[in-house]
């Protein structure tokens, strides 16, 4: 799965959590939670969905790395590499 394919999945997940927003307009380093007005409950649902869709396990200590689109993409890429090695 390349970075663009990962991005498509992330955008779809964000859209399902915040349907009235436009996640595709998120700037790479803009806060996902603030921009899309996602509360802690929905953020947890987002991470659960990431884990399920990409088959990874995200510890709570890593949540800080998932604050913007760039961070999420990098984190998922690394996790997928870790999974296959």
The single residue listed with the structure tokens 């991005």 is: 7
Specify the residue, 56 or 73, whose C-beta has the smaller distance to other proteins.
56
Tell me how far apart the 2 most distant CA atoms of the chain are, in Å.
Answer: 39
Candidate list 5, 25, 28, 57; residue touching other proteins; CB under 8 A: 57
What residues pair up with 29 in beta bridges, in sequence order? none
Candidate list 5, 39, 64, 82; residue touching other proteins; CB under 8 A: 39
CB of 66 to other proteins, least distance (A): 12
Instruction: Report yes or no: 56 and 50 within 8 Å, Cβ to Cβ.
Output: yes
Residue 33 interacts with other proteins (CB under 8 A)? Answer: yes
């Amino acid at each position: 799965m390349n970075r663009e394919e990962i991005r498509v999945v992330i955008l779809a997940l964000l859209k399902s959590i915040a349907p009235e927003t436009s996640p595709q307009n998120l700037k790479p380093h803009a806060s996902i939670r603030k921009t899309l007005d996602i509360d802690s409950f929905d953020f947890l649902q987002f991470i659960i969905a990431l884990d399920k869709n990409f088959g990874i396990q995200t510890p709570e200590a890593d949540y800080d790395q998932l604050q913007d689109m760039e961070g999420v993409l990098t984190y998922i890429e690394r996790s997928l590499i870790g999974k296959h090695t």
